[in-house]
Amino acid sequence: MNNFHFSINLNKFGELRRKEEKEKTGFRNLLIVFAFFTVLFFVFALILNGNLNQKVKNREQLLSDIKNEIESYQVSGEFLSSKDLQRIDKVSTERIFWAMKLVALSEQTTNKIAITHFSFKNDKLSLYGITKVDKKQKEFDLIHDFVEKLKQNEQISSDFPEIKIVHSRKDVEKDVEIMRFEIECTARDFSDEGENI
């Protein structure tokens, strides 16, 4: 004889209730996360808006200061004429930066040549130097090579486009035969540049 068995789940209502509570909890958590990110985005937007407003205020203040300065110049009559602008340009362009020139000069000077002194007068830089007379090497070639190096150095030739040997002579000092020489570097003509303003 076959026995039939029936299983009755008496806790079905309890399972449905737990499932419903689980769904409610998940929905509540999702709602909390959404609310958190919404608040976070809102705070970020407020901070960004505050920064932008501050930048706008700063620009408006700067514009106001510039306008006030312009008005003060108009009242005082302190205008810059074209001559004033030319003078300012002359000061900024007709300068020779000697520190950089001296560094470049020292870099081009070999141990076979010594610069004893120099002078700058009437837009001419005069370099006075000596070199030891060596039978194995022609002194004039050594000085000529030095002049060519000065011409090729942009730091020097930019302000002194014309560089030449003025004179040289042999001399004896403490039983050592030396050659004295003078190199003349002519400064560029700044007046041509001033006319092109």
Domain ranges in the chain? 1-79, 92-195
Q: What percent of the chain has pLDDT over 90?
A: 7
Amino acid identity of 72? S
The set of residues, in sequence order, having a beta carbon less than 8 Å from that of 144 and lying 6+ positions away, is 165
More confident residue, 183 or 20: 183
- Tokens describing residue 195: 């006319």
What band does 195 get if pLDDT is binned at 50, 70 and 90? very low
pLDDT tens digits for range 144-176: 888 899 898 888 888 888 999 888 888 887 777
pTM: 0.48
Alpha-carbon distance 52 to 74, whole Å? Answer: 33
Give the pairing type, strands 162-173 and 124-132: unpaired
What band does 9 get if pLDDT is binned at 50, 70 and 90? low
**CATH assignment, 92-195:** 3.30.1360.100
Q: Is the pLDDT of residue 136 over 90?
A: no
- Tokens describing residue 80: 């810059």
